[in-house]
Amino acid sequence: MNATPWWKEITREQWYALLAGKIGWALDAFDVLLYVFCLNTIMAEWHLNPATAGFMVSLTLFASAFGGIVFGAVADRIGRKNALLITVVLFSLCSGLSGLAQNLTQLAIARTLLGLGMGGEWASGALLVSETWPAKHRGKAIGLMQGGWALGYIAAAIAAATVLPRFGWRVMFFLGIIPALFAIWVRTKVREPEVWLKQRQNEERDPTAKGSFFQIFAPDLLRFTLMSTLISTLVMFAYWGLFTWLPSFLASPIEKGGAGLSMVKAPMWMIPMMAGAYFGYVSFGFIADRFGRRPTFAAYLVISALLVFVYGNTRNATALMVMGPFVGFFGSGYFSAFGAFVSELFPTRARGSAVGFTYNTGRMISAMAPTVIGFCAARFGVGGALAFTAVAFLLGAMSIFLIPETCGAELS
């Protein structure tokens, strides 16, 4: 029996790859979610209705889908590391442009460009980590990487509670420029995965071995492409419909279906929720490496559906604080599955295109979620509207069984 702790089996290069993916995803979350926390302030200043404000999030998500698809294919051509560098710089600079917007059109353009970088960063980072870490620890690595989203969310919440009330939403967006400095560290410390380098060598020796984007629609891979996209769509709809409007739900008056917390308290209530999300992301990887991707994924989603329904119908501040970490834990943790099981379903020649397409096509279709929930909020109140996401969680739990179990699969 091997008594060596698992973390001692990991090399320095593998830890660097994980750190690059994790920090990149955290900074991505920070930039994207600044708008979520500024949503009520911008609505009031520019006299926007909930549906229009939600549409701005949908626009970012729709653009991120294109970014993920494009940069997934780009990562197959120029490398995982190089694609990661480009996307981090892109979404950072566009956050600063958001702070300069003078009207809705200018803000929409900036958020669209930011979305391109957002989608591309996840695809590049997930590929980098999946291909660098050993198969038996891949779930743990992706879970640890995915936890970066919760850290970025917490950082955005802290900024919303401290910077937003004093300096306004424009300064919030200017903070989003800072992540561009992270690209310098990535360039000097991170290496391309060996499996990708070998694929490039094979292509140089034999041009017929070169992969292409359209290979994911070949007969041997089409089923995996369609099923992974379906699962991504369902859980993305649930996530973005829920977490886009949670800060607004907490800050909105009770008579409008909200929880009645102040604009200062609402972001603080999100911090323990995102702390729970962090542990949800990380724990998913460990549990999935032990019991498999499918049962772990389904369990997280079913529990999420139950929690969301109860949470959206709760108005007691203490109860919301107590429930928050559990909503974050189960309502976010299942995302750690995607970087692992999608990578394990596809060969190296098509892996970047597959990860980019399936995850981000789901994101593209689910981009309507913030707008749909915004319309529902106008009719049923924000809390009532959140309950609609429970249906998507349950459908996602059932859909995972349409693909094979991939736990422990070696990448080829």
pLDDT value for 325 = 92
Task: Identify the CA nearest to 22 among candidates 139, 136, 122.
Answer: 122
Distance CA 38, CA 360 (A): 25
pLDDT value for 31 = 84
CATH architecture observed for domain 12-190+218-402:
Up-down Bundle (1.20)
DSSP category for residue 256: G
Contact criterion met (CB below 8 Å) for 206 and 193: no
pLDDT value for 27 = 86
pLDDT value for 258 = 65
Contact criterion met (CB below 8 Å) for 127 and 84: no
Residues near 148 by beta carbon (within 8 Å), at least 6 away in sequence: 21, 22, 23, 24, 25, 26, 29
Distance CA 412, CA 316 (A): 52
* pLDDT (tens digit per residue) in 116-127: 888 888 888 888
Question: What are the backbone dihedrals phi and psi of residue 403, each rounded to the nearest 5 degrees, phi first?
Answer: -115, 160
pLDDT value for 396 = 94
Region for 261 from its dihedrals, namely left if φ exceeds 0, alpha if ψ lies in -120 to 50, beta otherwise: beta
What is the secondary structure of 12-54 as a DSSP string? HHHHHHHHHHHHHHHHHHHHHHHHHHHHHHHHHHHT--HHHHH
Contact criterion met (CB below 8 Å) for 308 and 356: no
Distance CA 84, CA 352 (A): 12
pLDDT value for 306 = 93
Distance CA 86, CA 117 (A): 8
* pLDDT (tens digit per residue) in 19-56: 999 988 888 888 888 888 888 788 888 988 877 877 88
Low-confidence residues of the chain: pLDDT under 70: 1-3, 208-212, 256-260, 262-265, 382, 412
Region for 272 from its dihedrals, namely left if φ exceeds 0, alpha if ψ lies in -120 to 50, beta otherwise: alpha
Longest Cα–Cα distance of the chain, Å, equals 68
